[in-house]
Every structure is written in structure tokens, then in C-alpha cells.
Amino acid sequence: MIGRNGVRWGAALGVAGLAVATYLVVRQESAPDVRMQPLPNTPGDIQAVNPQVRVWTRTITLIRADGAAAASIENGQPGDSAWLDRSDKKFRPRDEIFGAASIPASTATQRGPFYRYAGGLLRACGKAADRPEIRCTRWTAPADPPPDQRMRAVERLLDRYDHGTGLWEHDASTWQSAKALTTVIDYMGRTGDRQYLGYLDETFRHGDIARTGVPVQTGYNDDELWWALAWIRAFDLTQEPRYLDAARKIVDRLGDQRASFCDGGLAWARTGIDPDLHPWTQVWDWFTTGAGRALLDPSGVVNDHLDQYGSTCVLVDENRRWTYDQGMLISGLVALYRASGNSALLTSADRIAGAATHDGSVFIQNGILNEPSATTCPGPECHDAETYKGVLVRGYRELVDTGRSEVATREFLTRQTYSLRDTADEYGFRWQGLPRDDDHPNFATQTAALDALNAI
């Protein structure tokens, strides 16, 4: 973040000016003399908004109305700017800008003046005052293709990010925001595109994250561990120690959460939080030699949880299975394999992956992932399960990436991705068939779909 003293402002604005000037120094080409005329008043009918882009959490938009256009920038800081850029029909920028909008100290949003243009191509560009990167929208021409499917999905996911809380919309439990952040990190890691790093920084600065690693302590150990996973991924991507420190703070607080029953498993909720005191546990030795063996079905799939009865643990509902149970255990086994080199761990991961994805699996319908236990999905009572399938494809992809799997294939991941159907680049709960009226997309369903897009 930029400072608030006059010297810093002058330096930041100077850098911004230099960056903009450098960006606009291009080869002079013959082009039609496209006249740009500023309008004295804002047009009354804004008919179209060009797909927006982001640069360090700022949103840049080209607004069009009645043959006029303006550039806007949102979620910015003083000194951030946006402007109109024009080109000839060969997408060659000219050495001039119009309608510059610079954010003053009193607001986080600014729109430049409208300009009427008589021809040629336009786009909006913008940058943060304290960063060199410049991003531009598409040109106003059908010949300028939109971003690829994966980037469009990221943009729509970030549309639902709440800058006021550092979480995604309506996420009271916070764990799905951790998963969404992890998915954005995965996108950057898989593509090399670092333009969304600002969302890592912004999220880290919210709530109690700097001190505890989580935005708010919910009392649920599993929710907090999702944040630990997110910060580990953030560290792997950026090598910034603060992210690894945040993950350590979360894990260190779990030392007193071992249960006195169930072979010392880790309870999913702290005492007094879960009314039934039911523990969920996960450590591989515990799965193979302890009470966790009951969670590993003879068929190879992973059951969901054990319930406490007295001083013992019992598998109550062996038919309650979720895709994310399979994905998280596969992911954990791959991580253990990478740390230890023990190939037997990959054999165990292969067994789970094969059981979860073969043609007769309860999780597969017509070759595509399905959530058989999600009887309320899609719908208002469907919350956690909306993002579960994404956890499975992510773990499966990590298994493929080892290059050592005898079961996991890229073809399976490609099939899932190609089955996705969107409405204006937003994806609902179902992964096959055309979108239906009840399949309302939200950030959790969008995250799961982006996991699938990231996997190929």
C-alpha cells in the first residue's frame, strides 16, 4: 500500500506518469484521424459496459453510451488512474490518451469524462499508483477476442469478493473464502499470471489474520486449517515469509485439540462449539493403524466422519460420502509423498482416486463428477457442498502431476472441464447439461468450476 505523506505521493505520481508515458511511446503508424470530442454532460443512457479487468485489486472498466465512452477505476487509492486508449483498425495504440481519471483522496472510485468518438477502436487502461503494471480492457471490436475461459472465470469469481471484509460474499464460516483464495493462487501458479497478487495482500490485511492466521476464530478447527492450506500455497507462490508464519500460527494452536478418545484424533470443533462434540480426524498413521481405518471403505472410497459414543468412535452413516473427502485425502497423500519419497503413499492415493472416479463410482454420472449426498443441491440449503467437487479435481490433478500415478489421467480432468456450462462466464452447482433456472451461480460454485479449469 502507498504512503500518505506528500513526498511519497509525489514520488508515486511521478512513477505513474513515467509508466504511462513509456506505455504510450509507440511506433507512429498511419491511421485515420479519429476525432475525440469531450462531452459537457454525462450521457443519459449507458447501454453497454465492456468486460472489466483488474490490476492489483483495482477494477478498470470501459463504459460506453450513445457513441461516447469513459474509463473508470474502482477500489482504488489516491493517485491510481484510468484512461481511454485508442487505436486504428489493426489494434495499434496511438500516442495520446483521453478522459484520464485519477482517484482523489476522498474516494476509492473515479470515472473520467465521456468522449464522443467518430470511429476507430477504444479501450480503457489503468494502473495503481504504486505499481508499474498496466492492464487494459478489450478493444471495441469483435475481432479483439475476449480473455480465455479460465481468466474470465477468475474475473467473475473476483466480482464476488468483498473488499470490506476480505472474504467472499456472505461467507460466515470463512473456510470457503480460504478455498476460493487458494483457487486464485492455483490459477496464478498454473498460468504464470501474477496480476491477482493484490488479492493475497488485501486478504492478509483484514481481520485478525496477521496475528492469528485467520480472519476470525470460528471455533472450528477444520475451518482454520483451510486457511493454513491457503497460506502455504501463498508462500509457495510468493516466498513471502508472512504467509508461512500465518500457517504456522494456525497449526500451533491445534496442539491441545487432540481427543482423549478415538486414538487421539483431532476434533473438528473446539469444546463448546459443536453441540454433539463429534470429532473428525486426519493423520495418515491414524487412518492406517488407528480408529481412522473405519473411514477407509473396503471399496477404496473415503467415508465422511466418525461419531463419538462414550469413549469410542463409530462410523454411523457409511453411505454419507463427499467428493471433497476423496480429494483432500489424495492431496494429503501426495504432499506426504513429496516430503518423504515413500511411493507406497501414491499407491494409497491411486486406490482412492480409482474408487472415486471409475465408471461405477457413486461420484460419477455419465462420466462426470456428481455429489450423491448433496440432496439439497442446488438450493438455499446447499452451502458447503457447492465447492466440494473442486477439491476432488484439485487433489486428482496433484496426483497426475507427480507423473507416478497408475490410475489418474489427464483425460478424466479434461472431460470434467469440457462438461462445464456457464451463463455469462458464471458456473452453477451442476457440471453437466445446460444451466437450469434453479442453478444459481455463487462464489462457491464458481470456485469449484475454476478448480476444474485450472486442472487442465
Q: What is the pLDDT of residues 329-371, one digit of tens each?
A: 999 999 999 999 999 999 999 999 999 999 999 999 999 999 9
Mean per-residue pLDDT of the chain? 86
Top-confidence residue, 266 or 52: 52
- Greatest mean pLDDT among 54-68, 219-233, 234-248, 288-302: 234-248
Q: How far apart are CA 114 and CA 130, in angstroms?
A: 26
Contact between 171 and 177 under an 8 Å Cβ cutoff? The reply is: yes
Return the domain boundaries, the chain.
6-144, 152-257+320-454, 262-314
What is residue 328's predicted lDDT score, i.e. its pLDDT? 96
Worst-scoring range by mean pLDDT, 107-116, 248-257, 395-404? 248-257
Top-confidence residue, 309 or 105: 105
What is residue 145's predicted lDDT score, i.e. its pLDDT? 77
Q: How far apart are CA 136 and CA 134, in angstroms?
A: 7
Residue 274 pLDDT class (50, 70, 90 cuts): low
Average pLDDT over residues 295-322: 85
What is residue 273's predicted lDDT score, i.e. its pLDDT? 60
Contact between 264 and 216 under an 8 Å Cβ cutoff? The reply is: no
> CB-side exposure of 228: number of CA atoms within 13 Å?
15
Global pTM value: 0.84
Dihedral (CA of 88, 93, 95, 101) sign: positive
Tell me the per-residue pLDDT of 416-426, one tens digit each, with 9 for 90 and over: 999 999 999 99
What is residue 15's predicted lDDT score, i.e. its pLDDT? 37
What 3-state DSSP class applies to 62? strand
Which residues does residue 71 pair with via DSSP β-bridges, in sequence order? 62
Per the listing, cell 503413499 goes with: 345
Contact between 41 and 60 under an 8 Å Cβ cutoff? The reply is: no
Residue 102 has pLDDT above 60, yes or no: yes
Contact between 451 and 154 under an 8 Å Cβ cutoff? The reply is: no
- The x, y and z cell numbers of residue 257, run together, are 485439540
Contact between 78 and 104 under an 8 Å Cβ cutoff? The reply is: yes
Average pLDDT over residues 273-291: 63
Q: How far apart are CA 296 and CA 329, in angstroms?
A: 10
What 3-state DSSP class applies to 365? strand
Domain 152-257+320-454, second-level architecture: Alpha/alpha barrel (1.50)
Phi-psi region of 126 (alpha: psi -120 to 50; beta: other; left: phi over 0): beta
Residue 3 has pLDDT above 80, yes or no: no
Top-confidence residue, 398 or 141: 398
Top-confidence residue, 34 or 352: 352
What is residue 230's predicted lDDT score, i.e. its pLDDT? 98
Beta strands 81-87 and 68-74, pairing class: unpaired
What is residue 311's predicted lDDT score, i.e. its pLDDT? 76
Residue 262 has pLDDT above 60, yes or no: yes
Q: Which of 2, 109, 133 shows the shortest CA–CA distance to 55?
A: 133
